[in-house]
Chains A and B, each alone.
Chain A
C-alpha cells in the first residue's frame, strides 16, 4: 500500500456570504430555519494523492481557488466537504512576514515569528545566526522592522521560514522575494527541500517555475480541477488556454501596414479577398488544429481576385502567439511567388513545425502587388494548438545538445598585454 504524503478526496470549500450582518442575526434567532446567506464555492471536488518527495504546482487565474486550496491543506481553514490527510510534519508559508511586529528589531522578530510557527525558543536562538546570515541583513538586524525596506522584510521572513524543515511544505507564491540574487537563493533552498525527499505544494503564476519544480501540476479554474497530472502536460494546457484570450487581434496583427487607400474607387465585389483558410497535415486531406511540436503541416488559403490586372495581390501567412509575438511567417512577395488568375489555392508547407507549446493565431494578410498596402486581414477562425512534451524553453525547439569534454581553458595569449609587462 502506498503511503501518500498528501491525500485529498473530493475536497471543497464554500464561503458563506451574508449581504447584511442582520441576516446572520436572523439565522441565529430562527436557529437556521431562515437562510440569510448564499454560498460561494471557492473550491470543489479536488482529489490529490502525492507521494513523499513529489511536488505539486498549482496554476490558474486569480480567484481560481489556488490560495484557498493551500489554506485548506495548511489547516488555517476547514474544508466544507470532502477530506484530506497529511503524513508527517507540515509547515505552511502562506504569507511571508505574517506576524511581524513593526516596532521590534529583526532579531526580536525572529524569535516572535519563529515561536508563532511552532519553533521552541532554544531552537530559534540556536538558528538565529543562520537566519541572519541567510537574510543578509547585516547591522539592520538590530533595527526595528519598521525601518526595513519591503525587500528586507521579505528576506527576513523567508529566512525564518526556510529554517523550518518539515516533511510537507506548503508555499503560496513566495518566489517573488526580493531581487534576482535573493530569489535564486530561495529557489536553491526549495530545491534542497526537494532533494531531501520533502513534499512541496505551491502555486505560481510562472509556468517556468511550475515546470522546473513540479512533477505534477493542478490547473484550477473557478475552484475546480481543469487539468491535473504531469506538470508539463498541465502547464501546456494552461498556456494554450491563456493564449486564447486575446483582445483585438486584427489591430495587433498588422496595425503598422496601412490599408489600401479608399480613394481607389472599386465596387466591393471587384475587390480581391480571402475565401477560406485551413490547416492540414502535410500531404494529406486531414484537417487538424491540434498538433504536437515537430508535426508537419500545410496551410491552404483559397483566394479570389476578380480583376487581377487592376489589383495584383500578394499573400502573407504568419504564426502568432497569444502575446502578439510573431513567431514566424512567410509572404509570396518575399519568395517571388506570383498569384495569377482570378482565383486559386495557395499552400504554405511547414514540414516539422517545431513551435513549442502554445496556442497560435494564424493571420492571413492579403497585400497589394507591392506588399505595401493590405486589402484584407483574415484571421483563421480556429487557432493552432501545439503541445510539447519536452523541457525546452522559448518559442521553438532548437537542436540543442550538451556534451562534456575534458578541455583546458584556452591559453590567455590573446589577452591584452598590460602596459609595461613586457621586459
Chain B
C-alpha cells in the first residue's frame, strides 16, 4: 500500500453517521488531488480499458482510427451525395461541408453517448471490486469518461490531420486553442452525468434502460444532423429548448473549434456567414452546466457510496 493511501483517518472512529456535508464539499473540491494521488490506478485502468477494447481484434489499434473514418464516410455519402444537402452553393472542393458539419458534432456526441451507455452500469458491473476491495470507487466512472474522451481524441486527431493533408476543409485556425478548455468542461459534464446515472443504477436497475431511450431522443434534439441557423421560423417556439440543451453548447463549441466560421462566398445565395463559431458564448453556458452536473453527480455519489457494497 503506497504511503499516500495509508488510511489517513486510520485512528478516527468509523461510525454509522451519514457522510457529513462538509466532507461532501471537500471531496468535490479535492477531486484533482484524488486523481493525482491515484494516477497510477487511473492510468493503468484507462490503458487496460482501451487496450481491452481492441485486444484480440484483427485491426487492433487501427480501430479508433477506422471507426471515425467509417462514420465520416457514411455521413458524407448519405447527406452530401444522396440527399444533396448543401450549404449554399459551395465550390466543388468544399462540398463535403455537410458531412464535416455532422462529423465534428458526432465525434463529441459519441463520447457523450458512449460514456452514458457504458457508465450507467459501471458500478454495478464492478460490484465484485466494490465489495471486496477498498479503493476510491469514483475512479471507475472517471475511467469510463476518460476512455471515451481518449477514443474521441483519436477521431479529432484524424480530422485535423485530414484537413491539413487534403483539401476537404481548411485547417483549424486559432480557435483550435479552445480544445483543452472544451475537453476539461466536457470531462466534468460527462463525469457528473455518469456519476449520477451509475449511482442511480445501483438502487434502481431500470436506469440504464430508461437512459438508453432518452439518449436517442437527446441526440435528435441536439443539432448534430440539422442546422438551427437554417431552420427559420419553425424553430422559434423551441429556441428555449435548444438553448437549454447542454449538448447543443457542447457540440457547437467543438464544431467551432474544429471548423472555424463557415463563410459562404459572397455573391452566393447566402450573403452572411451562416455558422459563426460563437465559442466563448457556448462555452460559458456549457461551463455552468458542467459545474452544476459535476456537483450534483458527485454529491449524489458521495452520500450514497456507503451503501454500494450492500446493494450491488
Contacts and interface: CB of A to CB of B under 8 A. Distances in A.
Contact of A121 (B1, B44, B128, B131): B44
Given A77-B310, A87-B11, A120-B2, A98 B48 contact: no
A114 B130 CA distance: 15
B10 A89 contact: yes
A99 B133 contact: yes
A127 interface: no
A95 B7 contact: no
Contact of A103 (B56, B129, B130): B56
Interface of B: 1-2, 5-7, 10-16, 40-41, 43-45, 48, 52, 55-56, 128-135, 203-206, 306-307, 309-310
Given A118-B5, A119-B2, A76 B13 contact: no
Given A71-B131, A76-B134, A111-B44, A118 B203 contact: no
A45 to B, nearest CB: 13
Given A94-B132, A98-B128, A116 B56 contact: no
Interface string A170-186: 00000000000000000
Nearest to B51: A104
A115 interface: yes
Contacts of A78: 14, 16, 306-307
B196 to A, nearest CB: 15
Contacts of B205: 21
A85 interface: yes
Contact of A112 (B45, B134, B310): B45
A281 B43 CA distance: 72
Contacts of B129: 98-99, 116
A21 B203 CA distance: 8
A90 B43 CA distance: 24
A84 B309 contact: no
B12 A85 contact: yes
Contacts of B206: 21
A111 B132 CA distance: 18
A74 interface: yes
Contact of A115 (B16, B44, B306): B44
A80 interface: yes
A142 interface: no
Residue among A24, A91, A115 with most chain B CB within 10 A: A115
Contacts of B10: 85-90
Contacts of A21: 204-206
B56 A118 contact: no
A250 to B, nearest CB: 45
Contacts of B11: 85-87
Interface string A350-392: 0000000000000000000000000000000000000000000
A230 interface: no
A75 B135 CA distance: 10
Closest 8 CB pairs of A and B: A98-B132, A78-B306, A118-B5, A77-B309, A118-B1, A83-B15, A94-B132, A95-B132
A92 B134 contact: yes
Nearest to B139: A116
Contact of A91 (B1, B13, B56): B1
Given A98-B133, A118-B1, A83 B16 contact: yes
Interface string A289-301: 0000000000000
Contacts of A344: none
B44 A84 contact: no
A145 B94 CA distance: 52
A112 B48 contact: yes
Contact of A85 (B13, B204, B306): B13
Contacts of B2: 118-120, 123
Nearest to B40: A121
A108 B48 CA distance: 9
Contacts of B310: 15-16, 77
A25 interface: yes
A116 B16 CA distance: 26
Interface string A222-253: 00000000000000000000000000000000
